[in-house]
Amino acid sequence: MRVIQRESNEAKPTRILYGANLSHDRLVKYLEELKNLGVIQETGSDDKIYSLTQKGIEFLNNFRRVETFASAFGFKI
C-alpha cells in the first residue's frame, strides 16, 4: 500500500513487486486480499494499475499514527 501511495496513488504490479520486495505469487495473493478488504482497487483498461481507495488511505494514515505512537516508546510495529 505504501508503494502505491509513493507512486502518486497509481502503481503497476511490477512497480509494487520491486518496491515491496515480494515474490510474484505472494504479490498476487496479497493484492487479492487487499482488493477483498476494499483498501485498493484495480483501474486502467489495458494495463493493470492499482490505486488506494479512500478506505485504504484512511487505513494507511491510521497505521502511520500507530507507528509514530509506538516508536515514541521505542516499540517497533
Partner 1 sequence: MEFIAFIIAIAVSYQALKGYRLTNERTLLYLHLSFLLLGAGLAIDGLANLIVLLVRFHRAFLFLSSLGYSINFVAQLVAYGLLVFAYIQQTRTSVSQVAMAAMPALLFEHNPVTELILLFLLVYIATQTGINYSVNKSAISLFVFGAFVSLVIAHLFFLFFTFSAPVFFALAQIAQLFGFLLLLAMLLRVNHRL
Least distance between partner 1 and beta carbon 61 (Å): 5
Q: Residue 75 interacts with partner 1 (CB under 8 A)?
A: yes
Q: Tell me if 73 contacts partner 1 by CB under 8 A.
A: yes
Which one-letter amino acid corresponds to residue 20? A
The angle formed by the CA atoms of residues 21, 2 and 34, to the nearest 5 degrees, is: 85
Q: Are the beta carbons of 38 and 77 closer than 8 angstroms?
A: no
Stretch that binds partner 1, among 1-9, 14-22, 38-46, 68-76 (CB under 8 A): 68-76
Any contact of residue 38 with partner 1 (CB under 8 A)?
A: no
Q: Does 61 bind partner 1 (CB under 8 A)?
A: yes
41 burial type by CB count under 10 A (0-12 exposed, 13-18 middle, 19+ buried): middle
Q: Which residues bind partner 1 (CB under 8 A)?
A: 59, 61-66, 68-77
